[in-house]
């Protein structure tokens, strides 16, 4: 009888372990099949806000682009204080990718919108966020356009460097500077978001000057002691006034620093040293912000 009980018990344990492993594998499969897409919405002040939405299947390029435009025309995020940048009447007529140039033709709804700069920035940021796309060309009714009314941004060379919330429209300055997106925390409809502003930093500035300019926009209390770049890792030495009681820095502040500084050319990661010791809390790849599950 005891032997029988032992056999049954072992069988139950094996079944439980097998079920646990199966569930773990099934969960990992769901995670691998879910990927985040960054779309752009705006708040009531017309500030552009990048939002990470979960999408459960990957699509062919043209279908993916049409789906993104549809989502950015939607009002389903109004409860989160976010509104569509793209007019509901805007239609995608055609999509073509050739030699890393993505050409998208829209209907003439683009001409009639007053928020031309916001639309250009939103479309450029989202549609150049593909590995195979280096540049975006916008057409209207199949014809090339160089400018839109209410905007002086030239449409013949749109790249990811255009950024978001870029209030400097002078095209000559765009080519004489380094574009960086600096993130700050903003409360919108009782939700906290990381909202970027695109700054243009002089190419003649040293690395330390560029870094300090960015840090000043994040938080004026950040005092940079030294900055160095090696193998695409930017190492910062900061003053100890940022340390909390646990000898770490605030997690939000850390993320704002990393997100902002990785927009610099040739910077893939950031290490933060205080009193000679690293105070990084997490890997750069683990930073997910403005995530909304739909």
Q: Are 229 and 211 contacting, i.e. CB atoms less than 8 angstroms apart?
A: no
- Asked which of 47-51, 96-100, 134-138, 166-170 is least confident by mean pLDDT, the reply is 166-170
**pLDDT over threshold 60, residue 149:** yes
Prediction pTM value: 0.83
In the chain, domain spans: 35-174, 205-289
**pLDDT over threshold 70, residue 12:** no
Q: Are 180 and 263 contacting, i.e. CB atoms less than 8 angstroms apart?
A: yes
CA atoms of 2 and 23, how far apart (whole Å): 31
Average pLDDT estimate for 94-105:
96
pLDDT at 34: 61
pLDDT tens figures, 232-289: 999 999 999 999 888 889 999 999 999 999 999 899 999 999 999 999 987 777 788 9
The dotted CATH code for 205-289 is: 3.30.70.2210
Considering only CA atoms, which of 95, 91, 166, 101 is closest in space to residue 133?
101
Environment class of 14 (CB within 10 Å of its CB; exposed 0-12, middle 13-18, buried 19+): exposed
């Amino acid at each position: 009888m005891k032997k029988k009980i032992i056999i049954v018990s072992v069988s139950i344990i094996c079944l439980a372990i097998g079920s646990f492993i199966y569930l773990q594998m099934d969960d990992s499969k769901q995670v691998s099949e879910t990927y985040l897409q960054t779309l752009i919405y705006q708040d009531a002040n017309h500030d552009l806000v990048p939002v990470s939405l979960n999408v459960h299947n990957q699509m062919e390029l043209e279908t993916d682009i049409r789906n993104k435009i549809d989502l950015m025309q939607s009002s389903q995020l109004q409860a989160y204080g976010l509104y569509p940048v793209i007019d509901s009447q805007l239609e995608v007529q055609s999509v073509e990718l050739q030699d890393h140039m993505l050409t998208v033709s829209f209907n003439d709804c683009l001409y009639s919108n007053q928020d031309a700069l916001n639309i250009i920035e939103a479309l450029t940021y989202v549609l150049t966020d593909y590995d195979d796309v280096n540049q975006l060309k916008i057409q209207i009714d199949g014809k090339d356009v160089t400018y839109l009314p209410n905007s002086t941004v030239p449409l013949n060379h749109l790249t990811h460097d255009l950024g978001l919330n870029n209030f400097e429209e002078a095209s000559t300055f765009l080519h004489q500077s380094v574009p960086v997106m600096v993130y700050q925390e903003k409360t919108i409809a009782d939700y906290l978001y990381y909202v970027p502003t695109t700054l243009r930093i002089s190419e003649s500035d040293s690395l330390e000057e560029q870094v300090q300019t960015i840090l000043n926009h994040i938080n004026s209390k950040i005092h940079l002691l030294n900055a160095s770049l090696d193998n695409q890792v930017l190492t910062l030495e900061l003053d100890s006034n940022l340390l909390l009681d646990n000898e770490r820095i605030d997690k939000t502040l850390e993320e704002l620093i990393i997100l902002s500084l990785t927009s610099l050319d040739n910077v893939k990661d950031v290490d933060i040293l205080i009193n000679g010791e690293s105070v990084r809390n997490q890997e750069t790849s683990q930073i997910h912000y403005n995530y909304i599950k739909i």
